[in-house]
Structures are given as structure tokens and as C-alpha cells.
């Protein structure tokens, strides 16, 4: 069977390099890592590009509850981590941006950080992988927004004002199951200024970790189509991280995008983390998302190297197994191609 090109809305490979900087060459170029992504496997799996997230972890707190085991025994309600201050976040974010540029330098033309839809198309046409620099949580941007201009010049084209944690700009949604995303106040005054500045610069705004009021604020204030890079249908899995039907209708009306998150905790109707699951819940999410979004506003947002994914997917090469399951489920080849890459690429043509 022919492979479907894959363009993906979210991964955390840069965070893996932050944790194991001495391993990056072995992981990236030689494919000796244990995770989901590396250059050889991306090429084998027809991965043509995606958003690469710069993510700042919270400092290790020995008194904090064990998120891993809590999330494997729903119901759970994880507390929001403390705000991380700008100075502490800045050098971590810089290190991850540097890893992304190192990936580009070391790949001998096989991987390129792109800043426009046209550059993404041209890069893929040459047979290389196109990366969009994304920041997941705006801790590395100061409230006066000076750093935003420098990050934009460094290649940043997509920004989530929050991860599931507060920032000076807004309030992330805590991980809760079952739970709905209306968990607190919307954007701060600085957050509203951030939205305007991103619109002005051409930096996309990612809604994926925002609570519902923050989502509504961006919908009201931003002129961009609404984008949730890695979230699923709340109707199927009642996680605070998933999108309600009301939110999905708003995204569809704006001709925006939703990336299907492969994280089992957001796919499984029981909210559990275990990777042992069938394709059935994945198809339920896809069917529901398509029923509201239509065929042009849905793509993938794997969360590779940041989440536990179903055994049937396993790693980046297994996205082709998902594509085969979608065909089996009755989706036409055209629709599978759209969801696997073409919808993201058309969206980025329009907005970047
Ligand atoms: Zn995320």
C-alpha cells in the first residue's frame, strides 16, 4: 500500500533533547533513541513535517503528587503547577530552540525550519522535512512582549499562551478526568496584548492547553482562524484537555484546524493511560470531529515524545497503520490524505 505523507500538529522531541543533550546525535541522526521520533524513522514513515514544540518543564518538586500514576487511575484532578518566572524559563527555551537549529544544521538539507506556507511546500517538494517552530506555554516571553519580537525573528511561528499551568498571560487547563474545560478565568490584560501582537507579527495562536474562557477570549480578540494543535473530542473522552462541541463549531466557523492527539489519556473513553487499546475509540474521535469540523479542518497532532500512544501506532512509522485503519473504517483515500497532511498544509498556506 502506498504511504500517506504525514504533517503533524505537535511533538515534544526538543524536550527529549533538553533532557538528554549528549544523546541528541545518536537519537536524531542514527535513530538510536527509545522515543517516537528521529530522522531515519521520520523518513521511513513519510513524515513530511510538523510543529516542533519548545516546552519548559516545571522544576522537580519531590512533594508533588505522582502525575503518572494518578493519570493511570481515573478519576483524577491534577493540581496546576506553579507559574515559572520569565528569567528561569528563558535559557531553557533558548536551549530547545538551539536543538531545533542544530537538527537543521546536522541534517545535510533533509530538515528545514520554515517560516511560511510557501517555504513549507517548497521544502517538502524537495523531499526534505519542514518544521514549524512552536512554543508551548509563553513563559519565555516577558509581559512587555520584547522577547516575542526576538523569538519571531528566530523563526517562531506558533505560540500557545499557556501549557497546563498559569502564565502572566492566562490560565492553563488542569488535567482532570472527567472534567470540562471551563476551569477558570480568561486571558489577563498582558494576554490580550499578546494576542494582538501575535496577530500583527503573524504568529499563530494555539488553543490546545487553554481553558474555555481563554479560548473564547482568543476567538473574540484574534483575527486568525482558530487552531488547537493537539486536542480531541470532549464528547468521546471527557478530559478537560478535549474540545467541546461548542468549541468545535467555533473552530469550523473560523476555518481553523484541530490536530487529533494520539495520547491515550485523551483518546480512551475511560481516560486511562494504558496503550493497550483498539482503533475503535480513535475512529469515534475522528467521526465526531469530522461531523462538526467537516473534511477540511482536521489533521493529526500526535504529541509524539510527550505522551503514551496506542500500541497500534507505537512510533512515527505507525501513523501509516492508523491511515490503514482509517481506510478500513470506510474513509476514502482522499479524506485520509487530507487528514494526514493536506489539511494542515492548506491551512498553513492560508495563514502563514
Ligand atoms: Zn501539550
Cα 297 to chain centroid distance, Å, stands at: 15
Residue-wise pLDDT for 192-205, tens only, equals 999 999 999 999 99
CA of residue 111 to ligand 1 center, whole Å: 23
Specify the pairing of strand 204-205 against strand 227-228.
unpaired
- What is the model's pTM? 0.97
- Whether 1 shows a pLDDT value over 70: the answer reads no
pLDDT tens-digit series, residues 258-273:
999 999 999 999 999 9
CB atoms within 10 A of CB 243: 27
pLDDT of residue 24: 94
The CA 302 to ligand 1 mean position distance, Å, reads 10
Residue 274, pLDDT score: 94
User: What distance in angstroms lies between residue 134's CA and the mean position of ligand 1's atoms?
Assistant: 11
**What does the alpha-carbon distance between residue 21 and residue 154 come to, in Å, rounded to a whole number?**
21
Domain 6-351 class in CATH: alpha beta
With contact defined as beta carbons under 8 Å apart, do 104 and 39 qualify? no
On the question of pLDDT at 160 being above 70, the answer is yes
* pLDDT at position 59: 87
Instruction: Determine the pLDDT at residue 283.
Output: 98
* CB contact at 8 A, 239 and 179: yes
d(CA 68, CA 11): 19
pLDDT at residue number 33:
81
303 Cα to the center of ligand 1, angstroms: 7
Query: Residue 104: is its pLDDT beyond 70?
Result: yes
Distance from the alpha carbon of residue 208 to the mean position of ligand 1, in angstroms: 7
Whether the predicted pLDDT of 62 surpasses 80: no
State the distance from the centre of ligand 1 to the C-alpha of 163, rounded, in angstroms.
7
Cα(11) to centroid of ligand 1, in Å? 8
CB 226 within 8 A of CB 250: yes
Give the integer Cα–Cα distance in Å for 235 and 269: 9
3-class DSSP string for 199-230: HHHCCEEECCCECHHHHHHHHHHCCCCCEECC
Average pLDDT of the residues in 108-114: 98
CA-to-CA dists, residue 329 to 47, 77, 260, 293, 333, angstroms: 22, 34, 16, 18, 11
| pLDDT value of residue 103 | 98
pLDDT (0 to 100) of residue 146: 98
| pLDDT, tens digit (0-9, with 9 covering 90-100), for 208-252 | 999 999 999 999 999 999 999 999 999 999 999 999 999 999 999
Amino acid at each position: 500500500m502506498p504511504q500517506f505523507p504525514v504533517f503533524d500538529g505537535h511533538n515534544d522531541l526538543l524536550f527529549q533533547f533538553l533532557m538528554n543533550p549528549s544523546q541528541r546525535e545518536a537519537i536524531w541522526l542514527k535513530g538510536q533513541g527509545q522515543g517516537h521520533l528521529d530522522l531515519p524513522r521520520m523518513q521511513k514513515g513519510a513524515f513530511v513535517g510538523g510543529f516542533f514544540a519548545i516546552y519548559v518543564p516545571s522544576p522537580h518538586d519531590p512533594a508533588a503528587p505522582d502525575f503518572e500514576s494518578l493519570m493511570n487511575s481515573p478519576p483524577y484532578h491534577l493540581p496546576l503547577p506553579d507559574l515559572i518566572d520569565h528569567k528561569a524559563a528563558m535559557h531553557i527555551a533558548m536551549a530547545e530552540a538551539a536543538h531545533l537549529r542544530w537538527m537543521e544544521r546536522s541534517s545535510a538539507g533533509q530538515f528545514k525550519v520554515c517560516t511560511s506556507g510557501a517555504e513549507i511546500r517548497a521544502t517538502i517538494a524537495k523531499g526534505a522535512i519542514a518544521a514549524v517552530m512552536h512554543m508551548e506555554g509563553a513563559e519565555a516571553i516577558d509581559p512587555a512582549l520584547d522577547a516575542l519580537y526576538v523569538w519571531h525573528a528566530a523563526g517562531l511561528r506558533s505560540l500557545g499562551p499557556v501549557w497546563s499551568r498559569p502564565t502572566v498571560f492566562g490560565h492553563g487547563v488542569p488535567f482532570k478526568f472527567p472534567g470540562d474545560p471551563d476551569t477558570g478565568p480568561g486571558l489577563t490584560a498582558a494576554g490580550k496584548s499578546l494576542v494582538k501582537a501575535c496577530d500583527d507579527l503573524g504568529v499563530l495562536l494555539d488553543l490546545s492547553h487553554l481553558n474555555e474562557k481563554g479560548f473564547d477570549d482568543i476567538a473574540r480578540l484574534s483575527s486568525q482562524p482558530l487552531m488547537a494543535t493537539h486536542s480531541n473530542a470532549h464528547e468521546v473522552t471527557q478530559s478537560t484537555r478535549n474540545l467541546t462541541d461548542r468549541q468545535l463549531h467555533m473552530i469550523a466557523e473560523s476555518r481553523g484546524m484541530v490536530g487529533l492527539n494520539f495520547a491515550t489519556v485523551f483518546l480512551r473513553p475511560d481516560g486511562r493511560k494504558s496503550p493497550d487499546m483498539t482503533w475503535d475509540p480513535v475512529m469515534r474521535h475522528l467521526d465526531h470531529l469530522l461531523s462538526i469540523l467537516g473534511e477540511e479542518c482536521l489533521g493529526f497532532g500526535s504529541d509524539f515524545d510527550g505522551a503514551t500512544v496506542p500500541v497500534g501506532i507505537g512510533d512515527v512509522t505507525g501513523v501509516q497503520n492508523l491511515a490503514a485503519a482509517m481506510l478500513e473504517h470506510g474513509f476514502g483515500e482522499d479524506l485520509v490524505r487530507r487528514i494526514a497532511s493536506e489539511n494542515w498544509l492548506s491551512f498553513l498556506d492560508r495563514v502563514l
